Structure 1
Amino acid sequence: MPPAAVPPAALAAAPPVPPAPSVPPASPATGPAKAVPRPAPRRRQEPAEAETDVLPKVAGPDTEPTDVLPRVVDEPEEPAAEPEALAEGAEDDGDEAGDAGETPTPTRADRIRTSIRTVGELMITAGLVVLLFVVYEVYVTDWLSAGKQHDATNALDERWRSGQDPLLEGGERGEHYNLAEGQGFAKIYIPKFGPDYAYTILEGTTDQILESGPGHYKGTALPGQPGNFAVAGHRVGKGAPFNDLDQLESCDALVVETSSAWYVYRVLPLGGEVENWTKNADSKGNQPRCDQVAPLRTKEQDGGPYARVPGQEIVTPDRGEVIAAVPNNPSASVPKAQQIPLITLTTCHPRFSAKQRLIVHGRLVKEWKKDQGKPGQLPPELKEG
């Protein structure tokens, strides 16, 4: 640090100093010349000003005094640590800073947890997909089919009111028909399923037709005719007209309406009821509504052409003989006039599956002609529960 400047006042108060002896100039080779010491006169010394890091104010004739500025002293910076030294000094447990940039190796337990989590997510997704499918099949398709069935019923009612019945061409019922595919021509009621159960039956059994309601197997008999009046319907979704078909019991009524008549069919005895149908007083065959219902045999005892026609059966989808004129016996040579008027209802089995078919057979027991003077008159069988 340079010696502190002596203020002018101090210089004025000091005694005169004799001139210093001349010093020869310094030689480049030998350096500065050495002066011969001479004793200096004793003088009173003023105390020197304390050293400071503050620059003094400088005043001059052409300058104004300036503010004192602090001297900026840079403190030495600590040397930055080398990354290599950090890595070498870190522990191997991964908790220190040296492992912060490294990806830990997954353990076997981590992989198992990841696999279980992935499988769980896939199962949840699959469950949601199945749930949405069920909602669509059961509710959405029912709603769509209800609209189509409503349109078909309105169209049929309008034709009946105007006298344009496709089953009455040529003036005689059943002699000539003019059924277009997908056209409604009759209605079916099952009193056991409630007073509101009623569906318009359409001609044909294609997927598109069955979305609108029960469909009549083309080529089978028509309502009230000798032979087998066969009808198919969905069991789940798309209106599900035959959803509860498995709940039908022997002698339950199946009522079919046309423009001119009501036809009452009743379910035939079930397989386990045939042997004891009328054996005891309490047997099912002795009930009043089973009066005209009996196991079908016709003439040949236990071996007639109708001996294999139970009230209900479950078959594979390829068993088309269940809708033959003589069910389960398509080769039977029974003349048309001698064929028993039957009804056969078919649907999928079990629910939500098309693996098998549930079949219900019934026979015609009564026919009610519609009285044109009393259009609102209904058969009493519709009141059965």
Structure 2
Amino acid sequence: MRIPLVQHSTRRRRARYRRVLWSGAEVLVTAGVLVLLLVVHQLWWTNREAREGAERRVEALERAWGAGGGAGPGTGMDAGEGAGPGIGDGSGSGPGDDDGGLDGGPGGGLGRPGGGARDSRPGGTPRSSQAYAVLRIPRLGLRVPVAEGTSRRDVLDKGYVGHYAGTQQPGRQGNFAVAGHRNTHGEPFRRLDRLRSGDEVEVETRNAAYTYVVGRILPRTSPRDTGVIRPVPRSLTRPAYGYDAPGRYLTLTTCTPEYTSRYRMVVWAVLVATRPRG
């Protein structure tokens, strides 16, 4: 009876295969753990961090208003005064980012750059990226700061709602338009699709509280549909949605569907009451 002999070269080849397979398995496990940590960071940690920061900012604003002071340098006047008439330059996030805003060209969202100069604007209007108002939506249990501009880094990723620079300020004739994340980084507009006609939205500044009532909802439009934030808002891609007459409007925009930035959802509201503070 012949006993098969195992050559040393065969043993070495099998040992190399085992090492390759083991190393590949380790790489896959490591990659899986890293992906899991990234998901946890995006879906949990960024939300927790942004929400806590946004809540602290709301409390700071309310303390400053209660003490009779402004929200910081450059806010001696109410935010509703001295607003500019036109749509601002392109800035903020580029296409593909869940920034909740509308693209105004190669630069991304329509708000002016939030990471640029921070000097006060003429008339005491807010500086770029400055939080100066509080947005409340009772149906959603939402209370969030409003900051000037739609920069991801300096506004939206902090869990704030960003005001489209170039649109009007709260309470003024025209369109006060804002954007917010729907997913991650505080996701203040996560449940925006739950709003219904007749729901109230309140915007509070240092000098006054403005109550808007939801009138119309555009479930989906293009990220480049800038008509929805014009002074008299009307969709350019879906003209059946919007308004025809001048008024005092509030526009809320965010990404849709969830976890994508392919389209934008738009909620419009109309000013029904103004209450002076103090």
Q: Tell me whether the two structures share a fold, i.e. TM-score over 0.5.
A: yes
Out of 164, 170, 181, the residue aligned to residue 223 of structure 1 is: 170
3-state DSSP of counterpart to 2:10: coil
1:198 counterpart = 2:105: no
Out of 110, 117, 135, the residue aligned to residue 40 of structure 2 is: 135
Match of 2:156 in 1: 210
- TM-score w.r.t. length of structure 2: 0.68
Q: Is the 8 A contact 1:234 1:347 kept in 2?
A: yes
Instruction: Name stretches of at least 5 consecutive residues in structure 2 with no aligned partner.
Output: 83-122, 237-244
How many residue pairs are counted as aligned between the two chains? 223
1:252 counterpart = 2:177: no
Instruction: Using the TM superposition, give the Cα deviation of residue 326 of structure 1 relative to its aligned residue in structure 2, in angstroms.
Output: 1.7
Range that drifts further, 314-323 or 117-126: 117-126
1:320 counterpart = 2:226: yes
Q: How far, CA to CA, are the matches of 2:79 and 2:180 in structure 1?
A: 29
Q: Equivalences for 1:1-385 in 2 at 5 Å?
A: 90-91=2-3, 94=4, 98-99=5-6, 101=8, 103=10, 127-160=32-65, 161-164=67-70, 169=77, 174-175=81-82, 176-194=123-141, 197-208=142-153, 209-212=155-158, 213-269=160-216, 311-328=217-234, 339-370=246-277, 372=278
Match of 1:49 in 2: none
Which structure is richer in relative contact order (CA contacts within 8 A, separation 6 or more)?
2
Q: Is the 8 A contact 1:167 1:174 kept in 2?
A: no
Q: Is the 8 A contact 1:168 1:174 kept in 2?
A: no
- TM-score w.r.t. length of structure 1: 0.50
Q: Counterpart of 1:206 in structure 2: which amino acid? A: S
Q: How far, CA to CA, are the matches of 1:349 and 1:173 in structure 2?
A: 30
Q: Is the 8 A contact 2:80 2:170 kept in 1?
A: no
3-state DSSP of counterpart to 1:141: helix
CA RMSD of aligned residues (A): 3.4
Distance of aligned partners of 1:316 and 1:173 in 2 relative to their CA distance in 1, 3 Å threshold: closer
Moved over 6 A (4+): 104-107, 114-123
Instruction: Using the TM superposition, give the Cα deviation of residue 102 of structure 1 relative to its aligned residue in structure 2, in angstroms.
Output: 5.2
3-state DSSP of counterpart to 1:223: coil
Instruction: Using the TM superposition, give the Cα deviation of residue 355 of structure 1 relative to its aligned residue in structure 2, in angstroms.
Output: 1.7
Q: How far, CA to CA, are the matches of 1:101 and 1:345 in structure 2?
A: 72
Whichever of the two has the greater Rg, that structure is 1
